[in-house]
Amino acid sequence: MTEKKAIFLRVMLISSLILVAAVAIFIQLLNVQAEFSDRVAMNDPVIKLREIPSPRGNIYDVNGNLLATSMPVYTIAIDATQASDTLFENNYRSLAKGLSEIFEDQSASDYAEKLRQSRRKKKQYLRIKSGIRYSELQKVKELPILREGRYNGGFVYTQETQRTKPFGKLCERTIGYGRAVSDVGLEKAYDRYLKGKSGKQLMQKINGGVWKPLSNTQDVEPVAGSDVYSTIDIRIQDVAQTALLRSLDKYEAENGSVILMDVKTGAIRAMSSLKRTEDGKYAEKFNDAIGAAYEPGSTFKLASLLVALEDGVDTAKMVDTKKGAFKFYDRTMKDSNYERGGHGEISLGKAFKVSSNIGIARTIVEQYPEEQKFVDRLARLGINEKLDFELLGEAEPWIKNTDDPTWSGVSLPWMAFGYELKMTALQILAFYNAVANGGALVKPRLVDRVKSAEKLVVVKGVEVLKPSICSEKTINILQDLLFGAVKDGTASNIYSKRYSCAGKTGTAKIASEGSYGSEYRASFVGYFPAENPKYSCIVVVTKPKKEIGFYGNIVAAPVFKELRDKLYAEKPIDTPDLEGKGASSYIGIAQELNDIHEELSYPKEEVLQKSAWMKSEGKALMSLDLVEGSVPNVKGMSAMDALYLLENMGLEVELQGKGKVIRQSLKAGDKLGKNQKIALRLAS
C-alpha cells in the first residue's frame, strides 16, 4: 500500500507540474497577444496592422485579348553591413559589374562606388532598383554577395504589383492607367469593380524598412477585383490608330481623333485621340473624342437637313447658290468652289452632296422665319444633351438659343452649316449612327460585361436613347444623300464599287479670340456598308498644315477609307453588288468564310485548315494554296484583297491601274526574299 501511495503522489506531482507549465504558457501567449494589440493600438512604428491591396481585375477586349493586367514587380536592396569584410572586398566589383550588365542603366564603376560608400557609411538599406521583373530578380539572386542571402549577404527584396498593358500604347487613354489618383478611361470609370476589397495583415518592421508578416488570427484576406470585358477590338484599334497617325504625320496636324462603332449595338470597337508632343511625335494625352466640344462645320448639315425635311421641305426644291457667294445681313458666306464660279441654281439634294453652305443656309433661313423654331427642332433630336457616356469627362454640347446675348442676324444661317454651336466627335457620331440605324439613337458604350470569377456582376446591353429621331421617309432620303455624297459628291475620292459606304465631309474654320483665322478642322463621318450598315465611324483632324491640305475629303476621309477597306478585306461584310453584276468574290480565313456560307444556306464545304486563306466565288469556296515562304497567286483578286495578303507576307506592293489583278511581276511559287517588291497590273 505504501508503494502504491508513493506512485500515486509522484503521478499527481508530475501532473501538477505539467498543468502549471501549461497555464504559464497560456498566460504568456495572452500577454504577447495583448502586447501586440497594445502596440498596434498605440500606432507602434515597428508593428502595425497594415493594409494589403487586393489583386486588381483585368480588362479584356471583345475577343478576350488582355488589355490591362497587374503583374508582380520587385524592389531589390542590400544591407551593405551584413557581408563579412573578406566577402565584400573580394566580390563587390563583380556584383557591380553584374548589376550593370542586367539593368544597363549605370556603369559598373558607378555601382561599385555606391556599394563602397554604403559599406563605409554603414547603411543598412541601399535601394538598387525598383520595378524589376521576375526574370531579372532570378538573375540578381545569382550575383556575388547577394547569392549569400539575407543574413550573410544582406540581400533584401520586396514584391509589389504594377499595372501593365500588353498592347503598349494602343488604346492606352481609353483603357486608363490604373493609378490611385487622377486616373482616366475604363480604369477610372470601373474602378469600384476592378479594385476589389483590401485585406489587413499584422506586420513587423525590420532592418532596411522591410515589413515582415506576423502570425495573427485577426488578418483579413483581400478580395480580388472583378474583370471588365470591353467592346474594344484591339485588331480594329490597331488599324484605326495607325491610319490616324499616318494622316497626322502627313499633314503635320496638332491633334486628331477616330472612333469606330457597331451601328446596331453602339459598341465602340476603336477609339483613339492623338496629340502632337513637344518632340514632334504623337501620343494619347487627352481624349478629344469625348472631352472636346467644337464647331463641327459641314457634318452638321445632316441635322439641319433632317429637321427641314421633317417640316415639309423637298430635296428637289431648287435653291440659288449664286456664284458661290451670298450676303446674309452684314456678312458674306462663301462656298468652297467660290473661286471656280460657284454652283449656281441647284436642288437642295445636290446642295447637300456638294456641301454648299449657301444652299443649306438659304433653305433654313427661308423655312424658319421664326428662328427659335429651328433651335427647338434641333433640341427634339437630343443633340443638345450629353450622352451620359461611361468614361468621365464628356463635354457638354452647346446649341445657341435665340435668347443668347450673342445671337445675331447671321446666327441662323451660320448654325445651318455647323457654326455657333458645339458638339463632341462622339456626339456627332451617335447622331450619324442613328441615321445608319434606321432612326434609332443608341447609346455608345465601351463595356459588354463585368465578371467576378464566373459570376456576372454587370451586363451592359443595347440602350436605346430614342426609338426614332425622325420618320422612316426622312431616314431613307438622308441615307441616299449620304451615299451620294461619297459616290459623286465631296467624298468621291474614297468611293469604291466594291466597298460601299456613305458619309459626309466637314471643313470648319477654327475660332481664336473671337474671330476665325486660317486654321481648320477637317472631318469625315459615315458608315459602311451603305445598304446594311455594320459600322459607323468619325475622323477629326485639327489644324492640319494648310499648305499641305486641310479639306475633310483630303485629310480625314482617307483614314475612314483605310479602316473601311481593311475591315472589308480582313473579314467579308455582307453587301450586294452595287453594279448589279452578281455576287462579289471575297478573300478571308477559311473557317470564317465557311461560317458565312452556312449562314446563307450555301453548300457546306469541308475546311481542313481553319487558318487557311480561301476565296469565295458565289457559292463556291476555293483554296488559295498558300505556301509559306513562297509568292502566292493573286490573279483575279481585287486590289485591296491582294494588297492585304501580300503586305502581310512582307512584300512591298506597287499597283498599276484599277480593278482586279491580271498580272503580277513575281511568279507564283517563287521564294520570298527580304524587302522584295511586287508590281500588280490591274484591269476592270
**DSSP of 60-81:** E-TTS-EEEEEEEEEEEEE-TT
Residue 184: phi and psi, rounded to 5, are -140, 180
Residue 508 and residue 495: Cα distance in Å, rounded?
A: 22
The average pLDDT across 441-452 equals 96
pLDDT class of 529 with cuts at 50, 70, 90: very high
Tell whether the model's pLDDT for residue 606 goes beyond 90: no
Mean pLDDT of 431-454: 96
Q: Does one domain contain both 556 and 498?
A: yes
In a domain, 301, yes or no: yes
Within a domain: residue 138? no
Q: Are 537 and 560 in contact (CB under 8 A)?
A: yes
Would you say 593 and 572 are in contact if contact means Cβ atoms under 8 Å apart? yes
Same-domain pairing of 395 and 525 = yes
Its domain, for residue 609, covers 583-620
Say yes or no: 290 and 374 in one domain: yes
Burial of 111 (0-12, 13-18, 19+ CB in 10 A): buried
Between the alpha carbon of residue 530 and those of residues 277, 412, 508, 527, 599, the distances in Å are 37, 31, 25, 7, 21
d(CA 477, CA 470): 11
C-alpha dihedral sign at 116, 120, 121, 126 = positive
Running DSSP on this structure, what letter comes out for residue 338?
G
Question: 270-274, 279-283, 636-640 — which is least confidently predicted?
Answer: 636-640
191 located within any domain? no
Contact 222, 52 (CB under 8 A): yes
Q: What's the CATH number where 674 sits?
A: 3.30.10.20
Cis peptide before 544 (omega within 30 of 0): no
Return the pLDDT at 584.
Answer: 42
Q: Please check whether residue 145 is in contact with residue 95, taking contact to mean a CB–CB distance below 8 angstroms.
A: yes
At 450, the amino acid letter reads V
The strand pair at 66-78 and 515-528 is best described as unpaired
Q: Is the pLDDT of residue 441 over 80?
A: yes
Has residue 469 got a pLDDT over 90?
A: yes
456 found inside a domain: yes
CA 593 – CA 583 distance, rounded (Å): 14
Is 50 exceeded by the pLDDT of residue 399?
A: yes
Q: Is residue 109 part of a domain?
A: no
The band of 198, judged by pLDDT with boundaries at 50, 70 and 90, is confident
H/E element, 188: helix 185-189
Q: Assess whether 563 and 429 both reside in one domain.
A: yes
The C-alpha atoms of residue 337 and residue 357 are separated, in whole angstroms, by 11
What does the pLDDT look like over 112-146, one tens digit per residue? 999 999 899 888 888 899 888 888 999 999 999 99
Q: Is 163 helix (H, G, I), strand (E, B) or coil?
A: strand
CA distance 604 to 595: 9
Grid cell of 105 as nine digits? 542603366
Q: Strand 210-213 vs strand 199-206: parallel, antiparallel, or unpaired? A: antiparallel
Judgement on whether residues 286 and 341 belong to the same structural domain of the protein: yes
Predicted local distance difference test score (pLDDT) of residue 664: 81
pLDDT at 577 over 90: no
Write down the pLDDT at residue 609.
Answer: 46
Residue 617 has pLDDT above 70, yes or no: no
Q: What is the pLDDT of residue 371?
A: 97
> Phi and psi (nearest 5°) for 503?
175, -175
Residue 450 lies in a domain: yes
> Residue 38: its pLDDT value, please?
47
Comparing 189-198, 334-343, 587-596, 673-682, the range with the smallest average pLDDT is 587-596
Q: Would you state the pLDDT for residue 475?
A: 95
Contact 534, 528 (CB under 8 A): yes
Q: Is the pLDDT of residue 208 over 80?
A: no
Question: Is the residue at 15 inside a domain?
Answer: no
Residue in 73, 124, 116 with CA at minimum distance from that of residue 91? 116
Residue 211 pLDDT class (50, 70, 90 cuts): low
547 with 636, same domain: the answer is no
For residue 527, what pLDDT is reported? 98
CB 226 within 8 A of CB 244: no
- Report the C-alpha gap between 534 and 261 in whole angstroms: 9
- Percentage of the chain exceeding pLDDT 70: 86
Split into its structural domains, the chain has a count of 3
461 and 532, same domain (yes or no): yes
Flag whether pLDDT at 228 surpasses 80: yes
pLDDT of res. 333: 95
Cβ distance 261 to 429 under 8 Å? Answer: yes
Strands (DSSP E) contained in 214-330 are 227-230, 255-262, 268-276, 282-283, 318-320, 325-328
* Lowest mean per-residue pLDDT among 40-54, 228-242, 266-280, 333-347: 40-54
Residues 54, 194: Cα–Cα separation, whole Å:
10
Q: Which CATH number is 478's domain given?
A: 3.40.710.10
Q: For residues 528, 533, 534 and 538, what is the CA-based torsion angle, rounded to 10 degrees? A: 50
In 3D space, the residue among 566, 648, 596, 645 whose CA is nearest the CA of residue 237 turns out to be: 566
Contact in structure between 460 and 437 (CB atoms under 8 Å): no
pLDDT at 583: 37
Alpha-carbon span 277 to 368, nearest angstrom? 45
**Residue with the larger pLDDT of the pair 5 and 679:** 679
Q: What is the mean pLDDT of residues 258-272?
A: 97
Q: How many whole angstroms separate alpha carbon 406 and alpha carbon 399?
A: 12
> Which of 26-30, 380-384, 448-452 bottoms out in mean pLDDT, i.e. has the lowest?
26-30
Which residue type is seen at 502? Answer: A
Mean pLDDT of 311-334: 94
Q: Are residues 530 and 655 in the same domain?
A: no
Residues 564 and 679 occupy one common structural domain: no
197 Cβ contact list (under 8 Å, min separation 6)? 54, 222, 223
| E-assigned strand segments in 263-303 | 268-276, 282-283
Same domain flag for 374 and 500: yes
Mean pLDDT lowest among 181-185, 203-207, 210-214: 210-214
Same domain, 670 and 553: no
Q: Same domain for 529 and 614?
A: no
pLDDT digits (tens, 9 = 90+) for 15-71: 888 888 888 787 777 665 555 554 544 456 677 776 677 788 999 999 999 999 988
**199 domain residue, yes or no:** no
Cα–Cα distance, 423 to 180 (Å, whole number)? 31
Query: Mean pLDDT across the chain, nearest whole number?
Result: 86
* 353, pLDDT greater than 90: yes
What confidence score (pLDDT) does residue 671 get? 83
How many CB atoms lie under 10 A from the CB of residue 406?
7
The CA distances from residue 359 to 238, 296, 315, 322, 340, in Å, are 39, 18, 11, 9, 16
The residue with cell 478642322 is 521
Residue 241, judged by CB atoms within 10 A of its CB (0-12, 13-18, 19+), counts as buried
Torsion of CA 232, 234, 239, 242, to 10 degrees: 100
pLDDT value, residue 574: 53
